[in-house]
Chain A
């Protein structure tokens, strides 16, 4: 039993998707508690992946396939998880890139890493209008809104979303985090965001800190 969970953990860390799927199926077959498979096999492995990335031991492509293999495991696991366990997911996050910005590589990675860390992610994709962000927040009531911009010309559109949240009285219900290559801690403060992270791994940490 221990060895099956350990093998899932290790295969998530190295991004061996096929082995993760096999491991999760095997674990379910021998009646290991699905909640335990989730926590000890998948989520803890992604913590390790985040740490390794921050140490510089692994790079983005390796973090990405780890997240992908984690997700493959999660897909198999989901029908077996109690709705309670799915929600132990530490919170809900709405993500999208700024209006006019089609660059979604970074935010896709953030989405995967957040899911890998057990958050429920509603990913609106790229070129998201202010209205679309507001609608999703009204509908899903997330704890966190994450936006990103790669272009200096689209960065100000993140500010427009924050202003719209204030005008519609939604601002206090959600924490706003921003990121993207030209974005800085200073810019995040300037536009009234609650947080900034320079990369996907630290975005996960930031969300955890904001929700703790």
Chain B
């Protein structure tokens, strides 16, 4: 038999905005760009905008629609981020989901004592060794902001730790242009030179603009410098400030936030056409008006920013796996799981901040292990239904129906049962077996796993030659 006109749903068909809704928000963004204007507090940027065809008045930039459309046509819609050995690791573009932790958490719950304390450099190393072992983590960020090293060395030493402990792609951030330059210099050493890093980028800079209407000089400087080098950038203008630096309403937030993203896109493409530019598909936007807290796991906005980036065809930098909880508890479990599954369904791209607790103030190594478990569940949930003769199994049903017995001991079951999800730590035992194994909770089991990983002697993935060159940059 040959079938025709067959269609399958390969993934969930999840939409939060229609084309026309996206288009109306886009129109709003274009009006903001063209007639309200965005402040760029950096003279080099103003010059680039002016030469490129925008109108500049003082530090206000008015970007015509044609320039936005041109930039959307020159920016790569798909890009590959490599691992540190030069192998393709992340194929970014369209609806996709890759997972990584977040950066710069000030506090950690020390899993050995259960107490909250300042993060230190050793925590960054421990975390990197742990993340290297977790199969569902696709990229890494610095994790903690170490309090035990000089402030001016923090970003370099975080980068050094990531290069030493893992081969996974790195997303790095830094406030000063100097440390961005140092991070790039280190990445170039590992890649074998500037040209190699450009061709096979494994490190992506995450630039966080403080205010979508006023782009601060440090951020813009970084965007221009990285674009000149042709290195990929992530540009997010209004993280968790809805109601403060954007309108409180979802549509107004989206219009202003995406105007700010698009202005950064235009600048990057004016500096160098084809610069890989990753837009903001983060769902965390809510500034909570009762306790004055920027929320990471609020429900209202999930899926919208992601959808808008798909409308533009821009690769996205999203968020998921986060919680406001201060301990590994029921709240942390459900917020982490729900923010993960919504961002995966929305195809958010690079989903970062996995494992963030206390709204981005707190991290925990066992929590990362639990996140890895949740991602494996989500991965299994997202698998498509396959309808073939083999999976419809009519012959198998016929065979079993004809005799006594069941489906358990037959080849068909054996061929397919391992396609189901078997978790690593999640408990599925009978009560008696669970008691016999020590009545341990998921958190306790995650702690044991972390200890096993940390017991192993630390290894340095860098050759002594690379190690020396990188140490020189850190010093």
Please give me the residue from chain A that is nearest to B406 by CB atom.
A105
Quick check: B432 and A61 within 8 Å, CB to CB? no
Which of B82-90, B274-282, B365-373, B409-417 lines the interface with chain A?
B409-417
Establish whether residues A198 and B433, one from each chain, have CB atoms under 8 Å apart when the complex forms.
Answer: yes
Considering only CB atoms, which chain B residue lies closest to A104 in the complex?
B406
* A61-B409, A68-B409, A105-B408 known; A198+B414 contact, CB < 8 A: no
A68 to B409, CA, bound (A): 8
Known contacts A184-B431, A185-B432: does B406 contact A61 (CB below 8 Å)?
no
| Minimal Cβ-Cβ distance residue in B for A202 | B433
Is A15 part of the binding interface, using a Cβ–Cβ cutoff of 8 Å? yes
Main secondary structure of the interface of B (DSSP, over half): helix
Interface residue from A15, A60, A184 paired with B408 (Cβ < 8 Å)? A60
Q: Considering only CB atoms, which chain A residue lies closest to B414 in the complex?
A: A61
Q: How far is the CA of A60 from the CA of B411 in the complex (A)?
A: 13
In the complex, whether B452 has a CB less than 8 A from a CB of chain A is no
Distance (whole angstroms) from the CB of A189 to the closest CB of chain B: 12
For A125, the closest partner residue in chain B by CB is B404
| Total B residues in contact with A, Cβ cutoff 8 Å | 13
A161-212 contacts to B, CB under 8 A, are 181, 184-185, 196, 198
Tell me if A's interface is mostly helix, strand, loop or mixed: helix
Other-chain contact of A61, B417, B422, B430 (Cβ < 8 Å): B417
Q: Write out the residue numbers on chain A whose beta carbons fall within 8 Å of the beta carbon of B430.
A: 181, 184, 198
A65-94 residues with Cβ-Cβ distance < 8 A to B are 65, 68
Q: How far is the CA of A196 from the CA of B414 in the complex (A)?
A: 28
| Chain A residue, CB-CB nearest to B430 | A198
Query: What sequence of 0s and 1s flags, for each residue 138-168 of chain B, a beta carbon within 8 Å of any chain A beta carbon?
Result: 0000000000000000000000000000000
B interface residues (Cβ-Cβ under 8 A, vs A)? 406, 408-409, 411, 413-414, 417-418, 422, 430-433
22 A-B contact pairs sorted by A residue (CB < 8 Å): A15-B414, A59-B418, A60-B408, A61-B408, A61-B409, A61-B413, A61-B417, A62-B414, A64-B408, A64-B409, A65-B409, A65-B411, A65-B414, A105-B408, A109-B408, A181-B430, A184-B430, A184-B431, A184-B432, A198-B430, A198-B432, A198-B433
Known pairs A61-B408, A198-B430. 7 more at Cβ < 8 A?
A59-B417, A59-B418, A61-B409, A61-B413, A65-B414, A68-B409, A181-B430
Which A residues contact B (CB, under 8 angstroms)?
15, 59-62, 64-65, 68, 105, 109, 181, 184-185, 196, 198
